[in-house]
C-alpha cells in the first residue's frame, strides 16, 4: 500500500529526482518535498552559497536536519540531494516510513543534464565529466542500497513515475 508510505527519491544530481518527484506526487495525490529547496529556504541562500560560505560538512549537517524533519511525515514524495545517501542516519530515517527509490543515469547523461546550471558546487571543476565519474563510482554502493533502482536514460519524468508506481505495486 502506497498511501501511508513515503516515496523517497535518491540518486546523483541530474537523474531527475525533482521532476520525477513532482510528477509522482501529482499522479498519486501525495505531497511533495524537495529537500534542497527546504534547506535553501531555511538558510536563506542557495546551496552553492552554503557550500562556498560554510563548506560541505555544514551543508550535510543541515541536510540531515531536514531529512529527519520530513522523513517523520507520512504519505509524501521526498526528493533528496545526491549526497544524502552518504550518511547512514539519513537512510535509516528515510527508510523508517519510506520506500527508497534510486534514479540512475550515465555520467554522460548527467553531464548533459547539469551543464546548463552553475548551481552544482561539486561540478565547478575543470573536468566535470571526470568528477561525475569519480563521485558516481564512490556513491554507487550507497545508491544500490535502495529498495528500487530505476534507469532514467531516455525516459520522461512521467514514464519514470509510472515505472516507480508499477514497481511499488509489485508489477
Separation of alpha carbons 164 and 49, rounded Å: 33
* pLDDT tens sequence across 38-54: 999 999 999 889 989 99
The closest alpha carbon to 118, from 63, 46, 69, 68, belongs to 46
The pTM of the full predicted model, rounded to 2 decimals, is: 0.91
Grade residue 171 by pLDDT with cuts at 50, 70 and 90. Answer: low
Output the pLDDT for position 1: 43
* pLDDT tens sequence across 147-167: 999 999 999 999 999 999 999
- What domains appear along the chain, each with residue ranges and CATH number? 6-168 (3.40.50.300)
H or E segment and range at residue 100: strand 98-104
Amino acid at each position: 500500500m502506497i498511501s501511508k508510505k513515503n516515496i523517497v527519491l535518491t540518486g546523483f544530481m541530474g537523474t531527475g529526482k525533482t521532476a520525477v518527484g513532482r510528477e509522482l506526487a501529482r499522479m498519486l495525490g501525495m505531497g511533495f518535498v524537495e529537500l534542497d529547496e527546504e534547506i535553501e529556504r531555511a538558510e536563506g541562500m542557495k546551496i552553492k552559497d552554503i557550500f562556498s560560505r560554510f563548506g560541505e560538512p555544514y551543508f550535510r549537517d543541515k541536510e540531515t536536519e531536514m531529512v529527519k524533519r520530513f522523513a517523520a511525515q507520512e504519505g509524501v514524495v521526498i526528493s533528496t540531494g545526491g549526497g544524502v545517501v552518504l550518511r547512514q542516519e539519513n537512510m535509516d530515517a528515510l527508510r523508517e516510513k519510506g520506500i527508497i527509490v534510486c534514479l540512475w543515469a550515465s555520467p554522460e547523461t548527467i553531464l548533459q543534464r547539469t551543464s546548463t546550471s552553475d548551481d552544482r558546487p561539486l561540478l565547478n571543476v575543470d573536468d566535470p565529466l571526470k568528477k561525475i565519474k569519480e563521485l558516481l563510482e564512490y556513491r554507487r554502493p550507497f545508491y544500490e542500497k535502495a529498495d528500487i533502482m530505476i534507469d532514467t536514460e531516455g525516459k520522461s519524468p512521467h514514464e519514470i513515475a509510472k515505472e516507480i508506481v508499477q514497481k511499488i505495486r509489485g508489477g
